[in-house]
Structure 1
């Protein structure tokens, strides 16, 4: 695990601090950036998100899907948790905390946006970081690749309908055109770009690894600059109510640990070996936060509580996932 991944929460925290400071110092400049959009999709952020997502998609080997029929239990568990449990549990937990437990601490409009951000995280299962978590728990690398590949294929068709349904259930107005555009821009097109890149490189693992390493600094910069932008636009809100980060983090922690242990119990019931059980649990637990951030910005805007909630997901995820990796390794 590289220094960036290991200390991701630290870098994100520094980017948050930088973003808040810049937002307070130069509000007009960031106001101009916010106006650069088409169909409610902010163009500077779209470029940054692509810098993050494209290097990940290069690593997806679609030829691995031919092995789907081998050891189907682990794959079935991954799909069941990711698409039939996690999105709905995230929506429920978001509603419980922001409509009931935190109702006196957050105004109704902001509560709706925080719930929306949580839903976007819940409907976006992890892609790239799964390979890191799988390696750390000594998971079956080939099987993890199959799980991720199939998961991404399902995401193309399931992300927009499930997101729209859950946002509608939360009484949030859904700009369907923007949601569909976002799915195409941030899921379908990057996946196709990854496929084309692999064909150009003739699926040579060494060339793919070399290209990924060359693109890694751009991916890192894309993530951190996106965080800086988001928190620059949220600067005044955070200054007025600094406890909001904690209020968002609490339900995200409940969801993350809850989904993990539910998946672990199901994996043990299915008698999955550790090298398949571990990655299956971690895929369902972690989030494709790059996608969630991009869609939150597209649907609700850079200033929104939904965008803030998705970025808090970035801040929370890495230390939590490392704690779960350590716990899994002790169960061997």
Structure 2
């Protein structure tokens, strides 16, 4: 009996690398812990490889992770995103009003008796995501152009608002409520440098790749030949970064499991609430699946590099604030990977679309 040929546009829904992503991430976490615990001094070596308070190995991992995703962005479509006022305003509200307020509340509810961890957690909530969110958004078949615009807007607001919000949530608001106060000192230049490295460099490289590639070889070559070759490096960079993060704090994670668990609970609640508020907001505003998913992931993610740099610079590498900053991405990574799968399920069950078909139509 003859078999019917598959439609020409049918493509594998997930590559083997994507399909087994939770396994690879789990193995990367274990590998990082093993390295951090069994190799004496490795965390000290990694901590010393810094320039301007930024870890060079982690920066390289993040740049490798972000470049392929930003190289996929259709920059000629960005103007259409900036005209979507519902998306832009809801993103600003979720990121700069709801997110910090929610983290402040959760930190005081769950860590009222642990002021160092509480302060570190609040700082994590102030650092809005400009890096790893592009990976989660891409895996969930979100709108790449919208993600590029939203992380750029977050970057500008981060430079302007981070220090002001830190002062408000650590000093002013606790004083109004009769709670303990705590301050931070962070220069605008340090925040700007963080934004320049973790967004500016890969964004410029991604734009240059598309512009030069399409100009010299054409769009068909660029999207059918070039992008498939560089695409897997996004996940290689992600896994490399995860290994480094767990190696950097391997001894802390193993020696202080109860403290890690105490910090992890409000983080888990935060990521899940922010993501669901984001996806529901997009749905209620009438946004399509791709932009609703992008809104959700940009609202839920955090700029862990900035949070870690600020807590270390202000309170010291061995402080409880720094430990809380490091635990942030250790919880964020597995939780948001899980939410990628939830997002793909909601695309079919709630938005009534095939997210992979939509993804293919954009190519």
Q: Establish whether TM, by shorter chain, passes 0.5.
A: yes
Q: Which residue of 2 aligns with 1:113?
A: 120
Deviation at residue 84 of structure 1 after TM alignment: 1.7
- Retained in 2: the 8 A contact 1:118–1:252? no
Rounded to whole Å, the distance in 2 between the matches of 1:289 and 1:259 is 5
Larger displacement relative to structure 2 (86-95 or 315-324): 86-95
Rounded to whole Å, the distance in 2 between the matches of 1:129 and 1:38 is 27
Distance 1:218 1:131, change over 3 A: closer
- Retained in 1: the 8 A contact 2:127–2:306? yes
Deviation at residue 145 of structure 1 after TM alignment: 4.2
Q: 1:278 and 2:289 equivalent?
A: yes
Deviation at residue 128 of structure 1 after TM alignment: 4.1
- Retained in 1: the 8 A contact 2:65–2:238? yes
Q: Which residue of 1 aligns with 2:134?
A: 127
Deviation at residue 322 of structure 1 after TM alignment: 1.6
Rounded to whole Å, the distance in 1 between the matches of 2:220 and 2:74 is 10
Distance 1:54 1:123, change over 3 A: closer
Distance 1:121 1:323, change over 3 A: same
Matches within 5 A, 1:22-37: 22-37=35-50
Deviation at residue 51 of structure 1 after TM alignment: 0.8
Q: Which residue of 2 aligns with 1:310?
A: 329
Per the normalisation by structure 1, the TM-score is 0.81
Q: 1:174 and 2:173 equivalent?
A: no
SS in structure 2 of the partner of residue 50 of structure 1: helix
Distance 1:145 1:33, change over 3 A: closer
- Retained in 2: the 8 A contact 1:93–1:251? no
Deviation at residue 40 of structure 1 after TM alignment: 0.9
- Retained in 2: the 8 A contact 1:97–1:251? yes
Unaligned runs of 5+ in 2: 1-13, 171-182, 353-363
**How many aligned positions are there?**
314
Q: What do residues 32-63 of structure 1 show as CA deviations (whole Å, max 9, x unaligned)?
A: 22212221112222211111111111112221
Rounded to whole Å, the distance in 1 between the matches of 2:131 and 2:137 is 13
Q: What do residues 274-293 of structure 1 show as CA deviations (whole Å, max 9, x unaligned)?
A: xx432232112214999823
Rounded to whole Å, the distance in 2 between the matches of 1:269 and 1:289 is 18
Name which one, 1 or 2, has greater alpha-carbon Rg: 2
Q: 1:255 and 2:266 equivalent?
A: no
Matches within 5 A, 1:1-332: 1-68=14-81, 75-104=84-113, 107-121=114-128, 126-134=133-141, 144-168=143-167, 169-170=169-170, 171-202=183-214, 204-267=219-282, 269-270=284-285, 272=286, 276-287=287-298, 292-301=303-312, 304-305=322-323, 306-331=325-350, 332=352
SS in structure 1 of the partner of residue 185 of structure 2: coil
Q: What do residues 180-211 of structure 1 show as CA deviations (whole Å, max 9, x unaligned)?
A: 11111111222111111112102624324533
- Retained in 2: the 8 A contact 1:78–1:284? yes
Rounded to whole Å, the distance in 2 between the matches of 1:309 and 1:86 is 16
Deviation at residue 261 of structure 1 after TM alignment: 4.4
Rounded to whole Å, the distance in 1 between the matches of 2:58 and 2:159 is 20
Q: What do residues 157-176 of structure 1 show as CA deviations (whole Å, max 9, x unaligned)?
A: 22322333333333333243
Deviation at residue 317 of structure 1 after TM alignment: 0.5
SS in structure 1 of the partner of residue 66 of structure 2: helix
Q: Which residue of 1 aligns with 2:174?
A: none
Q: Which has the higher contact order (CA 8 A, sep 6+)?
A: 1
Per the normalisation by structure 2, the TM-score is 0.75
- Retained in 2: the 8 A contact 1:19–1:227? yes
Rounded to whole Å, the distance in 2 between the matches of 1:93 and 1:293 is 17
Q: Which residue of 2 aligns with 1:139?
A: none
- Retained in 2: the 8 A contact 1:52–1:290? no
